[in-house]
Structure 1
Amino acid sequence: MRAFELDSRLAADTLSVAPLGLCQLRLMNDRRWPWLILVPQRVEITEFHDLRPLDQAMLTFELGLVSKAFKQMVRADKINIGMIGNRVSMFHCHVVARMTDDPNWPDPVWGHGAREPYGAEEGEALVRRVADAVLSS
């Protein structure tokens, strides 16, 4: 059996926040929107229905935990959750915090402008804040 290995595109576009029970929690490296990614640590999963029922339940629990803590932390007006995977087939979940005054409100964040990576210190500080918010809830 192969070991789980994070897709290289997800690794390149995100910063590691924390391991959860099922998922790796990662921060999208784009300062335009507070944006998290949950990646179930399972091999050869491309769709939600590919997960075993217990993993589906665990993912739902982790999504709820993360989205609630994240919404409170960034004072978001809305949390968008997406499981799209058209460009990166490894199954992963987007948790995007939206504010009514963000750059593309109310439209989706995908396909809008160019990514703006965090500076090293800014990214590290946000990773710590997210980890504290999620892991203490």
Structure 2
Amino acid sequence: MAEVIPVSESFSLHPQLVQDCFELAEFPLCKLLLCNDSSYPWFILVPKVNDVSDIYQLDWQQQQQLLNESSLLSELLIQVFDGYKMNVAALGNVVEQLHVHHVVRYKEDVSWPKPIWGQQPLTPYTAEAIVALKEKLLPKLSIILDTL
């Protein structure tokens, strides 16, 4: 039987994440979000633990689970989106709720080689593009969810 990862029963996403993202999936510890910026394949993992703004505030088991979920997601994203580099970051300067960005980067993207933040306005997805992205990613994602 798989070990149960402690999460908050009354967990809720920060309003800014709700506004800027689409919920895609539930991992044992984290919610997986898609940032509504079609300039990059940009995903966010949010541990379902209240009142945590930094990774060190998670208990040891949660820290290990976050690393597992982040690593598996990173490997999957670089393969599915045929990226050059994965950028993974937990900043929290604007949204204090702990969340970890996973951005697939290309040498040809509009911000390369700079960080993506503040380089250009967000370019929202069309409804059709979101459907296509989900069709591309979610079947492969379900396979790794079975390993977590």
Q: TM-score, normalised by structure 2?
A: 0.88
Structure 2 equivalent of residue 35 of structure 1:
42
Q: Residue 2 and residue 68 in structure 1: after superposition, are their counterparts in 2 closer, same or farther (change >3 A)?
A: closer
Asked if 1:82 is matched to 2:89, the reply is yes
Compute the TM-score of the two structures, normalised by the length of structure 1. Answer: 0.95
One-letter identity of the residue aligned with 1:102: D
- Tell me if the contact between 1:39 and 1:93 (Cα under 8 Å) persists in the aligned partners: yes
Cα drift, residue 124 of structure 1: 2.8
- The yes-or-no answer on 1:109 pairing with 2:116 is yes
Distance across 1 between alignment mates of 2:9 and 2:67:
25
**Tell me, what secondary structure is at the counterpart of 1:111?**
coil
**For 1:21 and 1:2, how far apart are their aligned partners in 2?**
13
Shift of 1:136: 1.6
Aligned to 1:14: 21
Question: Residues of 1 paired with 2:143 and 2:124: CA distance?
Answer: 27
Partner SS, residue 95 of structure 1: strand
Query: Is 1:134 matched up with 2:141?
Result: yes
Deviation at 1:120, TM superposition (A): 1.3
Which of 59, 80, 89 does residue 52 from structure 1 map onto?
59
1:29 and 1:123 in contact (8 A); partners too: no
Flag the 1:6–1:128 CA change in 2: closer, same or farther, 3 A: farther
| Identical counterparts, % of pairs | 33
Q: Quote how far apart the aligned CAs of 1:67 are.
A: 0.4
- Counterpart of 2:75 (choices 68, 71, 76) is 68
Deviation at 1:2, TM superposition (A): 6.8
**1:110 maps to amino acid:** W
Structure 1 runs, 4 residues or longer, greater than 6 Å off: none
Q: 1:43 Cα deviation (Å)?
A: 0.7
Q: How far, CA to CA, are the matches of 1:128 and 1:93 in structure 2?
A: 23
Gaps in structure 1 of 5+ consecutive residues: none
Counterparts of 1:43 and 1:66, CA distance in 2 = 22
For 2:117, what is the secondary structure of its paired residue? coil
